[in-house]
Structure formats: C-alpha cells, structure tokens
C-alpha cells in the first residue's frame, strides 16, 4: 500500500467533522491544495469539497474525508494536518517535511 499523502491529527479530524456538520448538506469533506503566493512562494488552500473531482486523491482518516488536489500531492506527501487553537486565533497547521523555508506568519512555504 502506498503512503498516505496527508495524515490527520485527532484535533484536525475533530475540527473537520465540526466544519462539515455546520456546512451545507452536500459537503463531502474538505479539499486541500496549494497555490502560488505568500512571501515564501506557496500557500495551502483549504475549501469545502462538494463533489469528487475524478483526479482527486481521497483520504479517509479518523472518520473524515480529505480530498487532495492532484497538483498538490507532490508538495504534501508525508504532511500531517493539525489544528491549533490559542487565545487569539485558531487555524489548521500543516507540518510538512518537504518545506525548505516558511514565512514568519506561517501562511506560506517553499519546497
């Protein structure tokens, strides 16, 4: 069996369950991708997955479905998706072993 592209922490899986339960009925899960941008060159993109794209990589982990944009797989291989909440903010955090550089705000990265 091939390596799962992304692993979810318990916190991330629980947060995705909350998001989906509060979303419109036809939401299947979340889709993760990357795009050019940010100070370091690449940014993570997270959106509702309302349909399955034929080329998406689907991961079912801890009771949730995560769809990976095919163009993002090479950048995300081995990444752990976590959810961090502190006094002032809450966000998904990507612990990506492929990153060679990350901007100070943590919003973008370079591979």
Q: What is the CATH number of the domain that holds 20?
A: 2.60.300.12
Q: Quote the strand ranges of the chain, DSSP E.
A: 6-8, 29-37, 41-49, 57-61, 64-68, 79-85, 90-95, 101-102, 108-110
Predicted local distance difference test score (pLDDT) of residue 99: 77
The CA distance from 66 to 95, in Å, is 16
Question: Would residue 106 count as lying in a domain?
Answer: no
Predicted local distance difference test score (pLDDT) of residue 60: 92
Question: Would residue 35 count as lying in a domain?
Answer: yes
Question: Would residue 108 count as lying in a domain?
Answer: no
pLDDT tens sequence across 86-105: 888 888 989 888 777 776 66
Predicted local distance difference test score (pLDDT) of residue 1: 41
- pTM score, whole prediction: 0.83
Predicted local distance difference test score (pLDDT) of residue 42: 83
Q: Which domain holds residue 35?
A: 6-100
* pLDDT(25) > 90: no
Question: Would residue 1 count as lying in a domain?
Answer: no
Compute the residue count for the chain. 111
Question: Would residue 61 count as lying in a domain?
Answer: yes
* pLDDT(45) > 60: yes
pLDDT tens sequence across 56-68: 999 999 999 999 9
* pLDDT(76) > 50: yes
Q: Is the dihedral of CA 13, 39, 97, 87 positive or negative?
A: negative
Residue that the structure tokens 């941008």 belong to: 37
Question: Would residue 67 count as lying in a domain?
Answer: yes
């Amino acid at each position: 069996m091939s390596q799962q592209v992304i692993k979810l922490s318990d916190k991330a899986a629980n947060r995705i369950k909350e998001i989906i339960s509060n979303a419109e009925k036809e939401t299947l899960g979340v889709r993760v991708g990357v795009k050019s941008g940010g100070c370091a060159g690449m940014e993570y993109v997270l959106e509702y997955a309302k349909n399955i794209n034929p080329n998406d990589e689907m991961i079912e982990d801890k009771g949730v479905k995560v769809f990976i944009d095919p163009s993002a797989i090479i950048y995300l291989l081995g990444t752990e998706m976590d959810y961090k909440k502190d006094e002032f903010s809450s966000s998904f955090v990507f612990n990506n072993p492929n990153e060679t550089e990350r901007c100070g705000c943590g919003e973008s990265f370079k591979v």
